[in-house]
A = this chain, B = another copy of it.
Amino acid sequence: MGILCLLRPSGIIRNMQNKGGVTMRIHELGEFGLIDRLAARLGEPDESVVVGIGDDAAVVQYAPDMQVVTTTDMLVEGVHFRRDTIDDRSLGYKSLAVSISDIAAMGGRAKHAVLSLAIPVDLDVERLDELYIGVQEICTEYGTHVVGGDVVKTSGPFVISVTVLGVVEAGKALLRSGARPGDLIYLTGTVGGSAAGLDLLEQGQGLAATLSEQQKADLLRFHQRPAPQVPGGRILLQSGGCTSANDVSDGVASELNEISKMSGVQLVVEAGKLPIHDSVRAYAALRGQDPLQWALFGGEDYQLIGTLDPAKRAEIEADFAKAGLALTIIGHAEAGAGVVLLQDGTRRELRPKGFNHFGS
């Protein structure tokens, strides 16, 4: 390894020529040229990086009472991202955001990342430069350091594989399995924004002129630059009153079903309490869509959702307010199974990807 190292001979992208001023393809840059170019985009490591880029493996040091949290995600062009809905800089940002959010959902801090790329040989080098600028932006914001990776060529689509290592106080990680009857369901920030932003990019170009610049910026940011809720996760962990946590990657409905199943409780959500951003409501009205659908099933919001001990509610809410972070109580846990949505006096079973009407 090393950053982008350990290319096996068959994977080496040869030819060290550089054509100044002209858009360069990867194969024109060469393996080591590419490594140097990408490594230069990354910031200086902190003291937790004992051995970083350039040896067989990276060595990182954590405090004795800390556990290491690790998570990984793979993104394929054409499946998980498309060039017409995300720019390369935001793609770099979001590629790490997805994994940092998993660390946040454990209550941890994201400390180190490794980043592997399978690169089509005709990819413009400038796309990688932009990608790494985005990677470095989120690393700077979250105190995360890229300590290695691999770069290989592929005959297929661009593939990004990210692994993030974080730390959490020993024995304190927030799990999906601790919700108890009587607990309250919390949700950080707002949801539905990523789906609304994607809808705007895919379908809403004709409506874009009707939105304010701020509204457009909000929607694009929700989709392209989700903010992992590490500070919120830290407050929840430190409160000692958080009984379960998930990040909203697959959608509120999906995450709640997971917590319900893993904890063995029924979760009851009040539709009217789901926090939806004003810009999302405004766009939904223009599109003639119900924003609740985006909020429940859209996913990729990367907020935290879970349950907390009602005795700790006031303290947690105060700590969120003090940190300038939003937290909303959207329901509660009961004895039983599954997830129930309360809306306009009706009770519907909320499935991961839709509704199931009781008695029907």
A189 at interface, CB cutoff 8 A: no
**Which residue in B116, B152, B245, B250 is a CB contact (below 8 Å) of A80?**
B152
Tell which of B9, B147, B154, B161 touches A250, judged by Cβ atoms closer than 8 Å: B9
A6 touches B59 (CB 8 A): no
> Closest residue of chain B to A76, judged by CB?
B154
Question: Given the interface contacts A56-B106, A62-B68, A72-B1, does A79 sit within 8 Å of B116 by beta carbon?
Answer: no
Additional A-B contacts beyond A8-B300, A70-B163 (6; CB < 8 A): A8-B299, A56-B105, A57-B69, A60-B69, A72-B148, A79-B155
Q: Does A197 contact B (CB under 8 A)?
A: no
Digitize A141-173: 1 where CB-to-B-CB distance is under 8 Å, 0 elsewhere: 000000111101111110101010110101101
Within 8 A of B (CB), among A59-74: 59-62, 64-65, 67-74
Interface flags for A1-35 (1: CB within 8 Å of B; 0: not) read 10000111111000000000000000000000000
Asked whether A116 and B72 contact (CB < 8 A) given A56-B106, A57-B166, A102-B6, the answer is yes
Given the known inter-chain contacts A79-B11, A118-B159, A152-B79, please indicate yes or no for A71 contacting B54, CB distance below 8 A.
Answer: no
Q: Bound state CA distance, A64 and B170, in angstroms?
A: 11
Q: Mark A119-130, 1 if CB is under 8 A from B, else 0.
A: 000000000000
Q: Which residues of B contact A249 (CB under 8 A)?
A: 6, 8
Report how far A61 CA is from B171 CA in the complex, Å: 9
Q: A67-B50, A76-B152 known; A59 and B106 CB under 8 Å?
A: yes
The answer to whether B10 and A80 have CB atoms under 8 Å apart is: yes
Knowing A56-B102, A76-B11, A262-B54, say if A112 contacts B70 (CB, 8 Å). yes
Q: Is A108 an interface residue (CB 8 A)?
A: yes
Q: How far is the CB of A171 from chain B (nearest CB, A)?
A: 8
| A154, B245: Cα distance in complex, Å | 30
Are B163 and A163 in contact (CB-based, < 8 A)?
yes
Nearest B residue to A3, CB-CB: B72
Asked if A103 CB lies within 8 Å of chain B CBs, one says: yes
CB neighbours (8 Å) of A65 from chain B are 64
| Distance in Å: Cβ of A197 to nearest Cβ of chain B | 14
Whether A152 lies near B114 (C-beta < 8 A) is no
CB distance from A191 to the nearest CB of B (A): 14
Cα-based distance from A101 to B8 in the complex (angstroms):
13
Judge whether A265 is part of the interface by a CB distance below 8 angstroms.
no
Name 14 interchain pairs, CB-CB below 8 A, sorted by A: A1-B72, A1-B99, A8-B249, A8-B300, A11-B79, A56-B245, A59-B173, A62-B68, A68-B165, A71-B114, A72-B149, A72-B161, A76-B118, A118-B118
A 240-272 contacts with B by CB, 8 A: 245-247, 249-251, 262
Residue A98 CB within 8 A of the other chain: yes
A293 to chain B, nearest CB (A): 13
Judged by a CB distance under 8 angstroms, whether A39 is at the interface is: no
- Would you list which residues of chain A between 84 and 118 have a CB under 8 Å from chain B? 98-99, 101-103, 105-106, 108, 112, 114, 116-118
At the interface, yes or no: A235 with Cβ under 8 Å from chain B? Answer: no
> What is the CA–CA distance of A47 and B255 in the complex, to the nearest angstrom?
28
Q: Is A131 an interface residue (CB 8 A)?
A: no
Measured CA separation A76–B176 after assembly (Å): 34
Q: Does A75 contact B (CB under 8 A)?
A: yes
Question: Which residues of the other chain, B, contact A61 by a CB distance below 8 angstroms?
Answer: 67-68, 170
